[in-house]
Amino acid sequence: MQTLDPTANSNPQGTQPSFDRQDWLSGYRSQPQEFDYWIDQVEGEIPADLNGTLFRNGPGLLDIGGHPVRHPFDGDGMISAIAFRNGRAFYRNRYVKTEGYVAEQKADKPLFRGVFGTQKLGGWLANAFDLKLKNIANTNILYWGDRLLALWEAAHPHRLDPHTLDTQGLDNLDGLLAEGDAFSAHPRIDPDVNGQPRLVNFGVKAGLSSTLSLYEFDPQGTLVSHHSHTIPGFAFLHDFALTPRYAIFFQNPVSFNPIPFLLGMKGAAECLKFNPKQPTRILLVPRDGSTPITVDSDPCFVFHHANAYEQDGKVVIDSICYDRFPSVEDGNDYKTVNFDKVPPGQLRRFTVDLATQQATSRDLVTRSCEFPVMHPDLVGRSCRYLYLGVTHAPSGNAPLQGLLKLDLETGEEQIWSAASRGFGGEAVFVPRPNGSAEDDGWLLLLLYNAERQCSDLAIFDAQDITRGPIARLLLNHHVPYGLHGSFVPMDFGPQAA
Ligand code: CO
């Protein structure tokens, strides 16, 4: 593996594929086992002042009883927790014991349809008009107000014990969520509302017109604000951005044709159609509950936002944009995806002038990127640094193998790559206790290491990622490619005997 030689990786160029497809696919093997252990294989040194718990969520099973899921997003949620304590680290993983997981593990075969096209056995006849979706709890994991919640955007969260990761059941948030209500997998934490952090999240009921609900919670988890709005048209909203005054959503120009879904031929997400003639609608939803502002922008597709802030009568939003819906082509399996046909994600800055209600945009990063993260204390404020998962090559689409630090002030990019045999994803930025500079902290990145067929947790000094990891924790097994996660300063490692 060439990953510890920064000079070889600091500025990846070249035209050869940066990865081997079998290597990449080997990170999509199911991980049916659950583990608890102190990580004893460590290259480099875990910083002694890095203390707390990293939580990650993602699909852990890529098959059910040997029947493969059609798309990894249909895989059952598996939580990993890595607790850091005085230079040591403890790993634990557990499945979210959802109703669907428990029933399917017992039956040893798929019993539910997946949103991304996984079907029950027996062809379309067995699937037609079965609209019962499985809450797979596989997208994000949040600790707030003494609750650890596994999130999946279309349903209620599952509550887990943060010490053991045992599933305690569905959580309706003290009765706030009614049957069928959604609670998104992309909450944001406003670092300062009257001196206190505030959790903000949304839920959407999409249809011919859509209903968007916005919730805000104080540090104890008590609801302090809740309002709902009707949005014209079908709204596929995965994430949002936050400023002190607004929750900001991008309504992608997609329509939903339910017929193939109803007939049991396709998953719901496979029935989305991108309309390149429709604008992308930027929705600024005032957090005080007043009427949303709608501003049209050029058509693009957005899953994730990096950050947003307000300045001089303008709202600035940095988002990962695709020129069209980045779906696997019709009838194709994710395993055989032709990366040349999938549009790259690009970091784009949108500026909305509140007086004229016009939006302009420009590209910030054109190398294919996803999963932007930043210093948590600057959410909703102008920040200087963003950290993104990127491809090894400067153009085209491919699996994410690198990490990019962007200086928004100078435009400077630092890049580190795990190619050819390492594969990345979303990093988490952890500020150094008592640090003062915005980039004084660490990036924690779970890498799949195809050489070992296992995963490594890489720790970077965020001030210079080109040095490569300052510590690499070698797990005893692999963690299938995951989605999102979070870090809390509390130590949820094993309790003293
Ligand atoms: Co997401």
Q: In this structure, is residue 496 part of a structural domain?
A: no
Domain count, the chain: 1
Compute the distance between CA of residue 276 and CA of residue 298 in angstroms, rounded to an integer. Answer: 9
DSSP state, residue 113? B
The pLDDT tens digits along the chain (497 residues) read: 334 333 344 444 446 789 999 999 999 999 999 999 999 999 999 999 999 999 999 999 999 999 999 899 999 999 999 999 999 999 999 999 999 999 999 999 999 988 888 887 877 777 777 777 889 999 999 999 999 999 999 999 999 999 999 999 999 999 999 999 999 999 999 999 999 999 999 999 988 899 999 999 999 999 999 999 999 999 999 999 999 999 999 999 988 887 787 777 788 788 888 998 999 999 999 999 999 999 999 999 999 999 999 999 999 999 999 998 887 665 678 898 999 989 999 999 999 999 999 999 999 999 999 999 999 999 999 999 999 999 999 999 999 999 999 999 999 999 999 999 999 999 999 999 999 999 999 999 999 999 999 999 999 999 999 999 999 999 999 999 999 999 999 999 998 65
Interval between CA 302 and ligand 1 midpoint (Å): 10
C-alpha dihedral sign at 494, 50, 92, 139: positive
Interval between CA 496 and ligand 1 midpoint (Å): 35
Interval between CA 471 and ligand 1 midpoint (Å): 27
Interval between CA 86 and ligand 1 midpoint (Å): 31
Interval between CA 126 and ligand 1 midpoint (Å): 31
Interval between CA 139 and ligand 1 midpoint (Å): 7
Compute the distance between CA of residue 332 and CA of residue 420 in angstroms, rounded to an integer. Answer: 25
Q: Give the containing element (helix H, strand E) for 103.
A: helix 99-107
Q: In this structure, is residue 497 part of a structural domain?
A: no
pLDDT score of 126: 74
Q: Retrieve residue 415's tokens.
A: 């890049």
- Collapsing DSSP to helix, strand or coil, 238 comes out as coil
Q: In this structure, is residue 405 part of a structural domain?
A: yes
CB 80 within 8 A of CB 482: yes
Q: Identify whether 228 is preceded by a cis peptide bond (ω within 30 of 0).
A: no
Q: In this structure, is residue 495 part of a structural domain?
A: no
Q: Give the containing element (helix H, strand E) for 427.
A: strand 427-431
Q: In this structure, is residue 494 part of a structural domain?
A: no
Interval between CA 196 and ligand 1 midpoint (Å): 26
Interval between CA 111 and ligand 1 midpoint (Å): 25
> What is the CA angle 361-363-380, rounded to 5?
70
Find, among 140, 103, 165, the residue nearest to 157 by Cα: 140
Interval between CA 150 and ligand 1 midpoint (Å): 13
Interval between CA 162 and ligand 1 midpoint (Å): 22
Q: In this structure, is residue 191 part of a structural domain?
A: yes
pLDDT score of 1: 36
Interval between CA 184 and ligand 1 midpoint (Å): 9
pLDDT score of 6: 35
Q: In this structure, is residue 493 part of a structural domain?
A: no
Interval between CA 56 and ligand 1 midpoint (Å): 12
Domain interval for residue 275: 2-488
* 465 phi/psi in degrees, rounded to 5: -80, -15
- Collapsing DSSP to helix, strand or coil, 310 comes out as strand
CB 246 within 8 A of CB 285: yes
Interval between CA 407 and ligand 1 midpoint (Å): 23
Token pair 């994000």: residue:
140
Interval between CA 489 and ligand 1 midpoint (Å): 23
C-alpha dihedral sign at 4, 7, 13, 16: negative
pLDDT score of 15: 62
pLDDT score of 409: 98
pLDDT score of 250: 98
Q: In this structure, is residue 114 part of a structural domain?
A: yes
Interval between CA 254 and ligand 1 midpoint (Å): 18
Interval between CA 186 and ligand 1 midpoint (Å): 6
